[in-house]
Each structure stands twice: as structure tokens, then as C-alpha cells.
């Protein structure tokens, strides 16, 4: 019911000083993937667009088309699986004391639904990172970290020199791109499998497919497909 009417849980109170201290220490331990442009100092949508534009221009200048898909991990913050999240923190060698305290916070939290002046009975929360929490964006980035690794390791899609540039992320918005339709499908399959394993609700529509090409590049593509 909460999802259908667009309500979101908010963190009303937390030990903010301790949370901020953890956030500072956490960033020294964990390094985000280069393809993630969210939750980073001096990064943003402008850099995301610049990298995408430069990569596409590199291929189009060589009369090679680029096929891209824009993906949205709908309500991904609220669907983060706690067990998978803490397993990833352990894998990233986050100190045990930090993991135990975070585990305590998340295991003991409860929520209530407020409707007008009425409140529901408290209920346990088994998934999702705290909305409004200082550390929450970084915990969510950890949750998607392995997806970026899998996409980059696929060795399909666009490459610039020896570097694979087949996807870009900004928080839960993801763009995958490839100079071939089969390569794009491979990247979409990887994303779909990861979404299913991590309980991510994948939102995708055909209008989110974008193709880049010159007239010569289009003619070459049609010739490959039909002749």
C-alpha cells in the first residue's frame, strides 16, 4: 500500500555526529567504482553527461553507431536487502566494529505509519537504507558496486583505447551502451540478473532506448543486417 500511493519512510532521528564520523572513516576504507558519478565530491550529472557525450562522439566520428539504454532501479533505496548489504561490507573489509554497530542500528529499527493523527503499531524493517541518513547513499553505492564490476568485466560494449566504457551510473540511474545491439543485450542481461538477485525493481521502457549514428553509420548497419 505504501508503494502504490508513493509514500517513503524517513529517518526522524539518529546519532548524527556518530553517523558523520562513520561516513568520514568509511570513505577512507572504501573506494567507489569510477563509473559511479553519484555520492562523490566534485562529481555530478554534468560529468556523467560529458563522459557519455565524449564516448559517443568517439564512435560516431568513426561512423560506428552506439546503442544505449537508460535504466532506473525504481525505489532501490527502500529495497536494499540488509543481508546482502552487510555481506558486501564484509567483502570490502569494513572493520568488524563498524559493521556490528550498523547491524545493530538496522536490526533494531522499527517504523510506524502516520495517517492524519493516527499511528499504526510499530513493525520491524528488514530492507532499505535509512532515508535522510548521512551514510545511506554510500551504503547504497556499495550495494551497486558489484554490478559496475560485472558490467566492466563483461568486455563487451564501448571501449576507448584499452579502457572499457560500457556503462555509467548516477546513484540508481544507469546508462549502458554498446556499438552493437548484441553487446547492448548482453549488458542488459547482466543488469537483469543482478537486479533479480538483489531484489531491485528494474524499471525499463522502450522509450529509454537511444541510438546514436551518422547517415553513413546507419547505412553500414543496415548493410550488415540485411546483406
- pLDDT value of residue 37: 86
User: In this model, does residue 4 exceed pLDDT 50?
Assistant: no
Residues 6+ apart with CB under 8 A from 55: 66, 158, 160, 165, 177
pLDDT bracket for residue 3 (50, 70, 90): very low
Render 84-145 in DSSP notation, one character per residue: HHHHHHHHTT--HHHHHHHHHHHHH-EE--EETTEEPPPEE--B-PPTT-SSHHHHHHHHHH
Question: Higher pLDDT residue, 16 or 32?
Answer: 32
Q: Which of 184, 217, 182, 219 has the alpha carbon at shortest distance from 65?
A: 217
CA 227 – CA 221 distance, rounded (Å): 10
CA 134 – CA 57 distance, rounded (Å): 37
Do the beta carbons of residue 127 and residue 82 sit within 8 Å? yes
The mean pLDDT value of the chain amounts to: 79
Percentage of residues of the chain with pLDDT beyond 90: 22
Question: Higher pLDDT residue, 112 or 224?
Answer: 112
* pLDDT tens-place string over residues 80-130: 888 899 998 888 888 888 788 888 888 887 878 888 888 888 888 878 887
User: In this model, does residue 17 exceed pLDDT 60?
Assistant: no
* Diameter of the chain measured on Cα atoms: 69
Do the beta carbons of residue 183 and residue 165 sit within 8 Å? no
Percentage of residues of the chain with pLDDT beyond 70: 76
- pLDDT value of residue 158: 93
Q: Classify the phi-psi angles of 39: left when phi > 0, otherwise alpha if psi is within -120 to 50, otherwise beta.
A: left
Pick from 143-152, 155-164, 216-225: least confident: 216-225
User: In this model, does residue 185 exceed pLDDT 70?
Assistant: yes
- pLDDT value of residue 19: 60
Q: Which of 171, 184, 170 has the alpha carbon at shortest distance from 212?
A: 184
Do the beta carbons of residue 169 and residue 37 sit within 8 Å? yes
CA 24 – CA 202 distance, rounded (Å): 31
pLDDT bracket for residue 184 (50, 70, 90): very high
pLDDT bracket for residue 186 (50, 70, 90): very high
CA 136 – CA 143 distance, rounded (Å): 11
pLDDT bracket for residue 156 (50, 70, 90): very high
User: In this model, does residue 148 exceed pLDDT 80?
Assistant: yes
Would you say the C-alpha torsion 110, 199, 204, 71 has a positive or negative sign? positive
pLDDT bracket for residue 194 (50, 70, 90): very high
Of 42-56, 176-190, 205-219, give the range with the top mean pLDDT: 176-190
Amino acid at each position: 500500500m505504501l508503494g502504490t500511493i508513493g509514500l517513503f519512510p524517513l529517518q526522524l532521528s539518529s546519532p548524527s555526529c556518530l553517523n558523520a564520523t562513520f561516513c568520514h572513516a568509511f570513505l577512507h576504507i572504501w573506494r567507489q567504482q569510477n563509473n559511479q558519478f553519484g555520492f562523490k565530491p566534485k562529481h555530478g550529472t554534468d560529468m556523467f553527461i560529458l563522459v557519455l557525450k565524449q564516448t559517443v562522439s568517439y564512435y560516431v566520428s568513426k561512423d560506428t553507431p552506439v546503442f544505449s539504454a537508460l535504466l532506473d532501479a525504481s525505489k532501490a533505496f527502500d529495497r536494499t536487502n540488509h543481508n546482502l548489504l552487510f555481506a558486501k561490507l564484509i567483502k570490502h573489509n569494513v572493520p568488524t566494529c563498524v559493521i556490528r554497530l550498523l547491524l545493530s542500528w538496522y536490526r533494531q529499527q522499527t517504523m510506524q505509519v502516520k495517517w492524519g493523527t493516527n499511528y499504526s503499531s510499530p513493525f520491524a524493517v528488514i530492507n532499505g537504507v535509512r532515508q535522510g541518513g548521512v551514510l545511506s547513499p554510500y551504503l547504497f553505492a556499495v550495494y551497486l558496486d558489484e554490478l559496475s564490476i560485472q558490467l566492466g568485466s563483461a568486455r563487451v560494449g564501448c571501449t576507448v583505447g584499452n579502457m572499457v566504457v560500457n556503462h555509467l551510473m548516477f546513484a540508481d540511474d544507469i546508462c549502458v551502451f554498446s556499438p552493437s545491439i548484441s553487446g547492448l543485450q548482453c549488458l542488459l542481461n547482466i543488469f537483469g540478473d543482478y537486479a533479480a538477485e538483489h531484489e531491485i525493481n528494474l524499471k525499463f521502457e522502450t522509450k529509454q532506448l537511444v541510438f546514436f549514428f551518422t547517415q553513413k553509420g546507419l547505412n553500414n548497419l543496415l548493410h550488415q543486417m540485411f546483406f
